DNA sequence: TGTAGCATGTAAGCCGTTACATGATTGA
DNA sequence: TCAATCATGTAACGGCTTACATGCTACA
């Protein structure tokens, strides 16, 4: 189906180590490593509640194409499941090769330094070009968005604390909350400074 | 959400407002808005010392292609300058149309919520798959990288404080330092928690 | 003499998004 | 019955990176 030429690379080993996948593929594989068998749609929900906060939440179309790629590489197994009506849903589960590949990626490759696409900071850099009021408005909007985000993430953290399966996801969620708190402090300090 | 702008596509006017440029183009235009006439190479240096910390530092090839695009849209002027030897260098300067376009972008479009590509957090999420030692090592490496980054950024901030031209860049740089400090605190807290 | 920095580009290709298509089920 | 949600994809394309190409200058 979608196996085009990408899977016909010069080394056709599927059981691991050799082919480098995009990080998002490892991220999705990682979500599957928590054990549940998920459909593309469910994986999207899951990534919206996790990856969104410190990676990017892939579009549905990308979820499907990455799942296709993982299948091509033999890192996940798929299964047709009957839905509520007459429809069938494809569900995916990580297999041993996938776990090995994921572990291999984690231990052999280095984590890159995080990349921030911070358009609020970018716009603040250029604040000499606009009137002070609009800069203030932008920062206040950002402050409100931070409040929303924090609420969303706090709710997620609430649902996984005390569940040993999600010990590390809980660390990451707490990390996100700390980050949002730090952003809020900075934004407020800048707002104060601007009014002088 | 913001797709109302999409309908204003097909007008090929070059003097502004109508054509949406990629954010990186506005970022580079923004760097030129500080007044200096720069070559592509110098713009790369400049972006490495500014955009790098809260946006991405574009590759040389992208700098050149964005400059070409800005030129096509009439937002910058270019000039051939004799270099030290027999070579000539093309220098670019923002013009009035460019300033207007940049101001228009700043006031009419909304800042998106920042996107993080945090592979350290992503890997921490999956820490259940690897041995505790390698997680600890990763976090320590990140802590060291943060120290380096902070040093780099502190040096840059040092060079622009008390220069009124760079008032807003100084805010942004301080923002970056706050962010690195918050990251350090979090990383250390997690390292402590892991040893329990 | 050779390497690092200055300086400018082209070509190929991947990652990821938006737009387009399709259709079933559930609840207001 | 109409909208929202579930569910799965294809096509087109934009942004950005890497690799490739070229050649000069300064300096150790």
**Per-residue pLDDT tens digits for B23-49:** 999 999 999 999 889 999 999 999 999
Place of tokens 């220098």: B91
Residue B113 domain-assigned? no
Q: Are A22 and A69 in a shared domain?
A: yes
Q: Are A17 and A50 in a shared domain?
A: yes
Q: What is the pLDDT of residues A19-71, one digit of tens each?
A: 789 999 999 999 999 988 999 999 999 999 999 999 999 999 999 999 999 99
Residue B15 confidence (pLDDT) above 70? no
Residue B172 domain-assigned? yes
Q: What is the pTM of this model?
A: 0.88
Q: Are A86 and A156 in a shared domain?
A: no
Nearest to A171 among B53, B169, B190 (CB): B190
**CB-CB under 8 Å, B179 with A190:** no
Q: Are B155 and B72 in a shared domain?
A: no
Residue A1 domain-assigned? no
Query: What does DSSP assign to residue A111?
Result: P
Q: Are B10 and B101 in a shared domain?
A: yes
Indicate the pLDDT class of residue B190, thresholds 50, 70 and 90.
very high
Q: Which of B14-28, B110-124, B153-167 has the highest mean pLDDT?
A: B110-124
Angle among Cα A69, A71, A75 to the nearest 5 degrees reads 105
Query: CA–C1' distance A59–C18 (Å)?
Result: 10
Q: Nearest nt (C1') to B61 (CA)?
A: C9
Pairing of strands B88-94, B76-82: antiparallel
The SS3 assignment for A22 reads coil
Domain termination residue (choose one: A82, A108, A134)? A108
Query: CA–C1' distance B4–D14 (Å)?
Result: 19
Task: Tally the domains of chain A.
Answer: 2
A193: closest CA of chain B, how far (Å): 9
Q: Are B9 and B103 in a shared domain?
A: yes
Q: Are A13 and A84 in a shared domain?
A: yes
Mean per-residue pLDDT, B146-156:
94
Q: Are A154 and A135 in a shared domain?
A: yes
Q: Give the C-alpha separation, B140 to B147, whole Å.
A: 11
Residue B114 domain-assigned? no
pLDDT of res. A4? 30
Residue B84 confidence (pLDDT) above 70? no
Q: Are B94 and B130 in a shared domain?
A: no
Residue A20 domain-assigned? yes
Q: Give the C-alpha separation, A75 to A71, whole Å.
A: 6
pLDDT of res. B5? 28
Q: Are B17 and B95 in a shared domain?
A: yes
Indicate the pLDDT class of residue B18, thresholds 50, 70 and 90.
low
**In tens digits, what is the pLDDT along chain A, a chain of 196 residues?**
333 323 333 333 344 455 789 999 999 999 999 988 999 999 999 999 999 999 999 999 999 999 999 999 999 999 888 766 667 889 999 999 999 999 999 999 999 999 999 999 999 999 999 999 999 999 999 999 999 999 999 999 998 998 898 999 999 999 999 999 999 999 999 999 999 8
B42 contact partners, CB below 8 Å, separation of at least 6: none
Q: Are A77 and A139 in a shared domain?
A: no
Domain of residue B174, residue span: 119-194
**Do residues B29 and B75 lie in contact, with contact meaning Cβ atoms separated by under 8 Å?**
yes
């Amino acid at each position: 189906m979608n196996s085009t030429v990408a899977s016909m690379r010069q080394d056709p080993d599927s059981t691991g180590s050799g082919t480098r996948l995009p990080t998002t593929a490892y991220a999705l594989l990682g979500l599957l490593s928590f054990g549940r068998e998920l459909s593309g749609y469910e994986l999207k929900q899951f990534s919206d509640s996790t990856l969104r906060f410190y990676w990017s939440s892939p579009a549905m179309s990308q979820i499907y194409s990455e799942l296709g790629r993982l299948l091509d590489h033999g890192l996940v197994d798929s299964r047709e499941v009957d839905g509520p009506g007459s429809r069938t849903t494809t569900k995916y589960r990580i297999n041993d090769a996938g776990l090995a590949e994921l572990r291999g990626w984690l231990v052999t490759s280095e984590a890159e330094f995080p990349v921030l696409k911070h358009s609020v900071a970018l716009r603040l850099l250029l604040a000499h070009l606009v009137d002070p009021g609009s800069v203030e408005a932008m920062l206040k909007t950002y402050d409100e968005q931070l409040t929303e985000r924090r609420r969303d993430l706090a709710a997620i953290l609430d649902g996984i604390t005390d569940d040993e399966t999600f010990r590390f996801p809980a660390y990451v969620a707490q990390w996100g909350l700390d980050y949002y708190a730090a952003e809020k402090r900075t934004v407020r300090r800048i707002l104060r400074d601007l009014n002088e």
